[in-house]
Amino acid sequence: MWTVCRAELPAYVYDLTALRAHVVGIRAALPAELELWYAAKANPATPVLQALADTVDGVEVASGGELAHVSAALPTTRIAFGGPAKTDAELDAATRAHRVHVESTHELRRLGLAAAGRRTLVHVLLRVNPPLRVGPAALGMGGGQFGIDPADLPACLDIVHRDPWLVLSGVHTHLASGLAATEQVALARRTVDWARTLPVPVAEVNLGGGMGVDYTAPTDRFGWTEFGAGLRDILAAAPELRLRIEPGRSVTAYCGWYAAAVADVKRSRGKAFALLYGGTHQLRTPAAKGHDQPFDVLPVDRWDRPWRRPEVAGEPVTLAGQLCTPKDVLARDVPVARLRVGDRVVFGLAGAYAWNISHQDFLMHPRPAFHYL
Ligand SMILES: *Cc1c(COP(=O)(O)O)cnc(C)c1O
């Protein structure tokens, strides 16, 4: 698909054309009234944000750093500010955002002070932790750490009603990560039904992200068509609501690859290992999620050493990196046709929660190269 010389590895390669086509496809599958926002924390690289800007309705940020970065990269795009444990400085900066997602009564009061200080109206979504059953999710978010307990909602409403600078626009939920379309629709329906029972008129419901990415089936995609049809039904039954989603992983995961050269191949205690010039300090996704990162082998035939080239063929191999920790494994016991020292390995599904969640400075290896196609 591309040629990279060994000296330029490890490298990240992003296909922005494919990213744009993917998000245009997502947009087309969704009801026109549904707002599609992008959660920047999945991949905040400026070229990625710029590739998405025309197709999404806004960008959700989760820190003051992301807010500053996204507003500089996309000065005319609407921004929603969320995230746990916001500082006073972040709440002050958040007063410029289109929406602020608030996580507690204390935070709501502090946001009111920031809004008064700036003499600006701030539109708030209360991030709630509704008592809803979530399907078999990879990562549940409703444990209580995030969001406001429903028992605290009356206190929140009271704070908003007494504060001339705060406007309550609605509620925000982000209850699970890694759900398939059927479960996402069921959860969206329960969330909307619940929001409509609240003792105040709720104009907006942000349903969050969490659309699943299957790392064991790299060509599969989240069922956007089924999800869009389900949301069309939900909107038809609740026409007064403005619904919004803010996926991250399912938008950018597919547009990124991480390529590394094979440094060594060896057999140890009966198992085959390939050591890469690279590792989880640059692609932490498999260590964070506990999966095998899908990969392809790009053979390199040139070999100029005077000894036999180390290789494995037709057996499972574990791909490990350059870090001095047994957690530095990118794929474990995965069968390969052949893998030799000097071949390249290209890991797919590396466009979200990949480079930017990695502990890049551990062991002080040089940074990878970045290519945006
Ligand atoms: C992380 C996050 C998202 C995006 O989740 P994905 O699983 O990447 O789709 C959306 N909303 C909130 C509040 C988040 O924390």
Which atom of ligand 1 approaches the CA of 41 most closely?
A: 1
CA distance 148 to 251: 27
> How high is the mean pLDDT of the chain?
94
Cβ of 286 less than 6 Å from ligand 1: no
CA distances for 339 relative to 5, 22, 155, angstroms: 18, 32, 62
CA distance 166 to 48: 33
Is residue 125 within 8 Å of 204, Cβ to Cβ?
A: yes
| 150 CA distance to ligand 1 middle (Å) | 21
- The pick from 56, 103, 175, 177 for probing ligand 1's pocket by mutation, whose C-beta has the most ligand atoms within 8 angstroms, reads 177
- The pick from 246, 254, 349, 353 for probing ligand 1's pocket by mutation, whose C-beta has the most ligand atoms within 8 angstroms, reads 246
Cβ of 210 less than 6 Å from ligand 1: yes
- Helix, coil or strand: residue 313: strand
| 177 CA distance to ligand 1 middle (Å) | 7
Closest of 158, 82, 88, 162 to residue 125, by C-alpha: 82
- Identity of residue 207: L
Is residue 324 annotated as part of the catalytic site, yes or no? yes
| 345 CA distance to ligand 1 middle (Å) | 29
Cβ of 221 less than 6 Å from ligand 1: no
Which atom of ligand 1 approaches the CA of 172 most closely?
A: 13
Cβ of 209 less than 6 Å from ligand 1: yes
H or E element in which residue 191 lies: helix 181-195
pTM value is 0.95
User: What is the model's pLDDT at position 142?
Assistant: 66
Q: With a cut of 50, which residues of the chain have pLDDT below it?
A: 1-2, 4, 6, 137
User: What is the model's pLDDT at position 1?
Assistant: 45
- The pick from 174, 222, 254, 356 for probing ligand 1's pocket by mutation, whose C-beta has the most ligand atoms within 8 angstroms, reads 174
| 295 CA distance to ligand 1 middle (Å) | 25
Cβ of 212 less than 6 Å from ligand 1: no
Task: Say which residue the tokens 């870090």 belong to.
Answer: 323
Cβ of 253 less than 6 Å from ligand 1: no
User: What is the model's pLDDT at position 185?
Assistant: 96
DSSP, res 181: H
Residue 144: Cβ-neighbour burial (10 angstroms; 0-12, 13-18, 19+):
exposed
Cβ of 249 less than 6 Å from ligand 1: yes
| 328 CA distance to ligand 1 middle (Å) | 25
| 308 CA distance to ligand 1 middle (Å) | 49
